[in-house]
Chain A
Amino acid sequence: MTATRRITPTKRSGDKRSSSVFAGTRTLLLFALRRDRIRIPVWALSISLMSMAALAAIDDSFDDPESVAQIEVTMSSPAIVAITGPNYAPGEYTLGVMMGQRMLVWTLIAVAIMSIMLIVRHTRTEEATGRAELVRSAVVGRHASSFAAYMAVATANLAVAATVTLALGSAGADTVDWSGSLLYGAAHFATGLFFASVALVVVQISEFPRGVIGMGVGVVGVAFALRSAGDVAENGLSWVSPLGWGQATHVFHTDRWWPLAFLLIGALVLALLAAMLSTRRGVGAGLRAPRPSPATASSALTHPFGFAMRMQRGMVVGWSAGLFALGLTYGSVLPEMESFIEQFEELGAVFAEAGGATIMDSFVATIMMVLAVFASASAVLSAQRMRSEEVEGRAEPMLVAGLPRRTYYGAYVASAVLTTTVVMLAGALGFGLAGAAVVDGEVMRQTMVAAAGFIPALWVVSAVGFALVGIAPKFTAWVWALVAYSFVTVYLGPLLDLPEWTANLTPLGHPAQYPAEEWTWWPLLILTALAVLLIGIGAVAFRRRDFQSTI
């Protein structure tokens, strides 16, 4: 005979862990790693391949002492210092030092962005899609999701650190020894952890994954600008920049480990702050309760273009402000540039670079190129935004309310044209204004002309995104490959000794590098025509394909 089954609460006395705030972390961690089983290796391999390629490329230049002296002079110029970092081994310049000065900061930025994106992906995106609720309703502690996400990102950073160490250490290059390579890798790990913590904090603030990524990337931008300004002015500002801490290791020279402690302590403090903040909010909510909005829409909002701009308002403001600030930073170091030139003129050095441009002009041209590469990252966002409105099911009601597909497409294209123009001009304006204030008004004219040259190239980058939305919508995100490629070939190309044609494959390689090169019109016209063509192809394809939605 079976008695009536009664449900009794299971005794859990001996099982403390299941009731802890971390219950379920192991399962969630394994799940997160499984979801990232492609992503993490791709990041780790890309970063270490880039480091390895840079090392191989600059290795050749270090064959004779003559050229080493030459290199050191160039690398001490404020242009280089502003862009990547200081020469921390004056008189003892080596291949390894050059890696630490010119390459390290870029791969540190790469791990920072990787960490931010992965944290957001496993925390805020899960909450915004409602999947987190399902998970949290299982036997999962309050901090388990965040902790598991953090551990997954730590694993990713460990993977990057290990592959970078192996790549550099095994290259067998002079002065790039194993202990230095280990420090070089460890700097990536510590920087990655720090920005993972930053991401975990901003994740608490806003409800929207896009906004959170924006804030996180903004912090990276600020860190970059701080170290730029600090490195040139040598005023200690670099010591408040997390990116500066990684560079302060003076890797392959004195191999200092202690600056990494700043990063690790910072990571710990921020992670604790995030944990504290997270208990003050509900799943899916932000720290600030959203305020009500008016019950009626303004006339700008009911216009498709106004609507598209409204969707991207935060992005445009953020990027413009960011580039403006970066431009200001670079512009303000122009006097150091001048005194650098004078100092060498006294020594009778010759300052004509290839093509007869002055150092000053090539500095301005290089900075404009850097600003354009940053702006190209914002150029892909409009097409991505349009795509996510589609798949997240918000565009569908607009189309069914009578919005023609070509108008919908056209509105986002127009927003991209405007956004890229505004962002590029903001950078040029910041640079020009600072330059005009500390040097002379001519800089302002130069930066504006140079910006005008880059704007059509940025339109082409946007246009590639729109073409993908039409032709191969699932691969819209691949437009980022073009941004990365532009960065590698146009900016690092000369450093990596890449052949000329590689830069020609990206739109950013075509505009004249004014004022270092003579100004020409034809690249503008060709690039604009190319953008129109790509956008047209995308428009036709977009009209013909099924509208997609994942809900």
Chain B
Amino acid sequence: MDNPVIQVQGLDKSYGKVQALADLSLTVERGEVHGFLGPNGAGKTTAIRILLGLLRGDSGTATVLGADPWDQAVALHRRLAYVPGEVELWPNLSGGQAIDVLGKLRGGVDRARVEHVAKRFDLDLTKKGRTYSKGNRQKVALVAALAADVELLILDEPTAGLDPLMEAVFQSMIHEARDEGRTVLLSSHILAQVEVLADRVSIIRQGHIVETGTLTDLQQLARTSITAHLASPADDVAAMEGVHEFEQDEVRVHFEVETDHLDAVLKRLATLHVRSLVSRPPTLEQLLLRHYSDADSNASAS
């Protein structure tokens, strides 16, 4: 049972001339909540739709719950549930009917559980497709997925449009799902959500995973930012290994330093008569912003 739930290796996918995935590799272990982050158009949805067997990769391999998602889509689908980022409902069916239809396809609906989850999300099951607000449409898909008895939840920006109260309900439901031993792949743009929920995180950019690890691992990769007032000039700090974005304004310096080099830099600062020092700990946001924004450097590297 120790095989990863999702294992992707060297996956490529293009839509005509647009290369959506380039040598993507991703591993999601059993029982973890795996955050899947990346800027718009990075290829998250494309990767997920390949994992669901809706699209076929051009090359590379993908395994979900030990099976090939393209060849064994149906068997696989009984063991997973999916929430898309944009939920379209049938205009002439109520939310409850839609949930029933999807549940029966999976093999059966636990009505009590559906009603329980719907109640927690405060969802009226009798409204018809178009009469739901965006957030409520999203909830219909969430209820269908969270009420299903499945091992794997694949969620693509599942809470776009939910209010903060519902966001909290969602988070506690995901915690419960994990406690029950389910695996969750969570693509999201809401950092706070990922920080609270995810055990491990993968960052995708231009169809390629650029970083993967636990939140602590990733924080290691982020930089501590330091602002200090010094009595002596500190020009040589700028040249030290691991120091970035160095700015000096008479006696005040500001820079960012990689975690590995923090010790050496602090020792050097200590010799420069520190009058005051403010340090901000590394954050995931900072790491992400760095990855999201230096698109050009990576494009030329690849």
Contact = CB atoms under 8 A, between A and B. Distances in A.
The size class of the interface chain A forms with chain B is 35 or more
B252 interface: no
A404 interface: yes
Contacts of B125: 295
Interface in A388-446: 392-394, 396-405
Nearest to A291: B128
Nearest to B107: A402
A175 interface: no
Interface in B88-118: 88-98, 100-107, 111
B88 A394 contact: yes
7 contacts: A208-B91, A293-B127, A302-B105, A401-B102, A401-B106, A405-B73, A547-B49
B5 interface: no
B200 to A, nearest CB: 24
Contacts, number: 114
Contacts of A293: 92-94, 96-97, 126-128
Interface string A281-322: 000100000111111110001101001001100000000000
Q: Which 7 pairs between the two chains have the least Cβ-Cβ distance?
A: A295-B96, A297-B100, A293-B94, A302-B104, A295-B125, A402-B77, A547-B54
Contacts of A547: 49, 54-55
A511 to B, nearest CB: 35
Contacts of B95: 295
A403 to B, nearest CB: 5
Contact of B86 (A307, A400, A401, A551): A551
Contacts of B73: 399, 404-405
B264 interface: no
Contacts of A301: 93, 97, 100-101
Interface string A539-551: 0000010110101
Contacts of A392: 88
Given A291-B128, A293-B94, A295-B125, 6 more contacts: A295-B97, A301-B100, A400-B52, A402-B78, A405-B73, A547-B55
Nearest to B74: A404
B121 interface: no
A207 interface: yes
Contacts of B189: none
B88 A551 contact: yes
A547 B69 CA distance: 13
B130 interface: yes
A147 to B, nearest CB: 25
Nearest to B82: A400
Chain A interface mostly? loop
Given A393-B86, A394-B89, A399 B100 contact: no
Given A295-B97, A297-B97, A400 B144 contact: no
Interface string A505-519: 000000000000000
Given A207-B91, A397-B141, A551-B86, A290 B128 contact: yes
Nearest to B79: A402
B88 A393 contact: yes
Interface in B50-99: 52, 54-56, 73-74, 77-78, 80-82, 84, 86-98
Interface in A356-415: 392-394, 396-405
B131 interface: yes
A204 to B, nearest CB: 16
A546 B93 contact: no
Contacts of A291: 128
Interface in A131-170: none
A207 B77 contact: no
A310 to B, nearest CB: 8
A302 B102 CA distance: 8
Given A301-B100, A302-B100, A294 B94 contact: yes
Nearest to A314: B92
